């Protein structure tokens, strides 16, 4: 899938937004409307090496498990997640959060996600509206994250090792 990019501006300092995003246990709080059943892959949920496994609720998709690991954590500018999902975990996944200072102690968050389907069948499944679905869901996730960080509202549950 070609990269999908969405962005938002959050009225919080960049360091605070970075600290929140660098803890992968926080990600279900703002993305649990389309990524569910989060489980941490290790005890440490913050920084490079932290990871999680989850189920995504994509339409017409039987193989909906994925996992990601924070592979690059460059404070306070960039966080890169890499992982795999789909049938036999053959679809690669890469997601990047880029944080830039904005006017008045605000932070511009840009989120880019792309997948690399493992074969022709996976590419065909992705071509059936998956890109638009991802863009809508990630845009909503960033709006929810903004609401959580600015107002403390709309918090979902944090991920844990055992999944609950």
State yes or no: pLDDT of 114 exceeds 80.
yes
Predicted confidence at residue 138, as pLDDT, reads: 96
Predicted confidence at residue 161, as pLDDT, reads: 82
State yes or no: pLDDT of 69 exceeds 80.
yes
Predicted confidence at residue 164, as pLDDT, reads: 52
Shortest CA distance to 26 belongs to which of 76, 70, 71?
A: 70
| 22-26, 54-58, 84-88, 127-131: least confident range | 127-131
Alpha carbon distance 76, 10 (integer Å): 14
Shortest CA distance to 78 belongs to which of 116, 112, 45, 43?
A: 112
Taken in order of first residue, the domains within the chain and their CATH numbers are 4-151 (3.30.530.20)
pTM of the model: 0.91
Residue 114 pairs with which residues in a beta bridge? 94
State yes or no: pLDDT of 125 exceeds 80.
no
Residue 96 pairs with which residues in a beta bridge? 80, 112
To the nearest whole number, what is the mean pLDDT of the chain? 90
Predicted confidence at residue 55, as pLDDT, reads: 92
Each residue's pLDDT tens digit, 74-99: 999 999 999 998 888 888 999 999 99
């Amino acid at each position: 899938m070609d990269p999908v990019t969405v962005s938002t501006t959050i009225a919080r300092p960049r360091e605070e937004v970075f600290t929140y995003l660098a803890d992968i246990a926080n990600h279900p709080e703002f993305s649990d409307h389309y990524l569910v059943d989060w489980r941490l892959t290790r005890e440490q949920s913050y920084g490079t090496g932290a990871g999680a496994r989850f189920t995504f609720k994509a339409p017409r998709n039987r193989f909906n498990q994925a996992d990601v690991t924070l592979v690059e954590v460059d404070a306070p500018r960039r966080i890169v997640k890499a992982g795999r999902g789909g049938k036999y975990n053959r679809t690669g996944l890469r997601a990047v959060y880029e944080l830039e200072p904005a006017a008045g102690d605000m932070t511009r968050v840009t989120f880019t996600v792309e997948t690399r389907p493992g074969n022709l069948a996976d590419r065909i499944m992705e071509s059936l509206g998956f890109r638009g679905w991802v863009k809508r869901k990630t845009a909503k996730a960033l709006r929810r994250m903004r609401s959580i960080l600015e107002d403390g509202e709309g918090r979902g549950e944090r991920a844990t090792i055992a999944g609950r």
